[in-house]
Amino acid sequence: MTEKIPQHRHCSKCGKAFLGEERFCSEECKVSNSELLKKRKRQLLILYGMTVVVLIAALLFVGV
């Protein structure tokens, strides 16, 4: 006889199975994911800024 597994979801942060409609299994995972998203956003903004600086430097160098 096989056991049936109840409908469940997996946490978007840690992958742990849980019952419910949320994306995260706990408040800790939710906060941790929020901090990770802030860090990635900051890194992306720095990357964009550095790209602009390099582009401007290249244009100034070629223009000389």
What confidence score (pLDDT) does residue 64 get? Answer: 64
What confidence score (pLDDT) does residue 32 get? Answer: 96
Does residue 30 sit within a domain? Answer: yes
Does residue 4 sit within a domain? Answer: no
pLDDT in tens, 11-59: 999 999 999 899 999 999 999 999 999 999 999 999 999 999 999 999 9
* Residue 22: closest CA among 33, 9, 34, 32: 9
What confidence score (pLDDT) does residue 2 get? Answer: 79
The SS3 of residue 18 is strand
Task: Name the domain count of the chain.
Answer: 1
Quote the domain boundaries for residue 51: 9-63
- Please indicate, yes or no, whether the overall pTM of this predicted structure exceeds 0.75: no
Does residue 56 sit within a domain? Answer: yes
Non-local CB neighbours of 17 within 8 Å, separated by 6+ positions:
8, 9, 10, 11
